[in-house]
Amino acid sequence: MSKYDIIVLGSGPGGYVTAIRASQLGFKTAIIEKENLGGVCLNWGCIPTKALLKSAQVFEYLKHAEDYGLSVKEADKDFGKVVERSRGVADGMSKGVQFLMKKNKIDVIEGFGKLKAGKKVDVDGTEYTADHIIIATGARSRELPNLPQDGKKVIGYREAMTLKTQPKSMIVVGSGAIGVEFSNFYNSMGTDVTIVEFLPNLVPLEDEEISKQFERIFKKSGIKVMTNSSVESVDTSGKKVKATVKTRKGEEVLEADVVLSAVGIASNIENIGLEDVGIVTDKGKIMVNDWYQTNIPGYYAIGDVVPGPALAHVASAEGITCVEKIAGMHVEPIDYGNIPGCTYTSPEIASVGMTEAQAKEAGYDLKVGKFPFSASGKASAAGTKDGFVKVIFDAKYGEWLGCHMIGAGVTDMIAEAVVARKLETTGHEVLKAIHPHPTMSEAVMEAVADAYGEVIHL
């Protein structure tokens, strides 16, 4: 039986980052993976979808080359090669994680790991033991009873990433990040896309003004949007799939080549031995404390299997916090109120902190500022004038309560707000921090200036 200080179950962005930090801290570390190093994020999620979206963006540039004074005779795409490029990017990233495992002297154990009592993990019949076992098994596409996935006509994100041929029509159920990113990609490629969203707005977790602007842009691009609607059933017996959609006006039957179910994720906690060990779960999540300890000493959990935002960067941060606490370091609990969320559509969406509605509900007296990219010199020069930056401050103390952006490149810009909020920066301090010109990021400063009645370029 091999003995380790730390065993990590799962090698996604939570698991492999956790293993590397553990190794850096001097722990003898092993990582168990049943499929590909890098998990869903590197192989089937974050990275390959961005490769697809980049191809879509380049294609859009080619189609609108005349807007930039350029001439492209016939812009066309090879759907198979677009998918092939995406898979190549994913493979490269997975190989990069393999290199990091070797570099950090982490043992990679291939197979399906099952927890056992006594701080043990069984991997396909071989037992391993450790002082600390960290569960990082991630999540998968959630299936609804009335929307069963067959992998052909009703698909999840994995199949959407690797379709052999481009569908002429697609119904996307759900308008979270996964739903709208695939809608954006397939629409750009020329597929007729319809989004069905149960709630009143697309990207419903975002600030309402962001959601409304986003919906206008999507509709302008040719995507059909059905909000306050739900798919009640699907019929896959014919050549095409028929979806019965319940709307405020009654039921409607939509027909398409394929339906993409993007209704969220489900944690991978089944059949990994939680019951055998006695680890407590609730509503499909493993219960942990601030340091990711379960109710059973020596067993920990991070990432999509615990409550909180199911985001790669959150899983990584949780894993680092977990092992640093095990090492006896002084660490702070993660501030879940300062987690950035990003959606990589065109235009992008990025946000952190409270929405305006949440801040009002919390009882704050607000200063709210907005700056449209239509007034930005850099955005005008780039031809990316859609969108705006919105900032929300507490009027009494100047605390930065929330920041919400929609526009080109905003997923790179949101970090300014995250760091400023971490440092408890006030609105006046942001205002007096000189931002470079011409950049998209100076829209943040201008939005803050608008909140304080000092905006220059609006």
Domain 154-263 has CATH 3.50.50.60: yes
Residue 190 in marked binding region: no
Residue 91 in marked binding region: no
Domain 2-141+266-336 has CATH 3.40.50.720: no
Residue 180 in marked binding region: yes
Residue 113 in marked binding region: yes
**DSSP code per residue over 302-314:** -GGGSSS---HHH
Residue 20 in marked binding region: no
Residue 284 in marked binding region: no
* pLDDT (0 to 100) of residue 312: 93
Residue 197 in marked binding region: yes
Please state, in angstroms and as integers, the Cα–Cα distance from residue 311 to each residue in 47, 307, 343, 433, 436, following that order.
Answer: 13, 11, 11, 30, 30
2-141+266-336 and 154-263: identical CATH topology: yes
Evaluate if pTM is beyond 0.85: yes
Buried b / exposed e across 205-242, counting CB within 10 Å, b at 16+?
bbbebbbebbbebbeeeebbbbbebbbeebebeeebbb
Residue 159 in marked binding region: no
Question: How many CB atoms are located within 10 Å of the residue 396 CB?
Answer: 10
* pLDDT (0 to 100) of residue 1: 62
Residue 177 in marked binding region: yes
Residue type, position 251, single letter: E
Domain ranges of the chain: 2-141+266-336, 154-263, 347-451
Residue 64 known to be catalytic: no
298: alpha, beta or left, given left = phi > 0 and alpha = psi -120 to 50?
left
Q: How many angstroms separate the CA atoms of 267 and 139, rounded?
A: 4
Q: How many angstroms separate the CA atoms of 133 and 225, rounded?
A: 45
**DSSP code per residue over 203-227:** STTS-HHHHHHHHHHHHHTT-EEE-
Residue 174 in marked binding region: yes
Buried b / exposed e across 437-446, counting CB within 10 Å, b at 16+?
eebbbbbbbb
CATH class entry, domain 347-451: alpha beta
Residue 179 in marked binding region: yes
132 neighbors 326 (Cβ within 8 angstroms): yes
Q: Is the peptide bond before 438 cis (omega within 30 degrees of 0)?
A: yes
Write out residues in the chain with pLDDT < 50, as ranges: none
Residue 176 in marked binding region: yes
Buried b / exposed e across 403-417, counting CB within 10 Å, b at 16+?
bbbbbbbbbebbebb
Q: Is the peptide bond before 148 cis (omega within 30 degrees of 0)?
A: no
147 neighbors 244 (Cβ within 8 angstroms): no
Catalytic-role residue among 64, 428, 437, 457 = 437
Residue 178 in marked binding region: yes
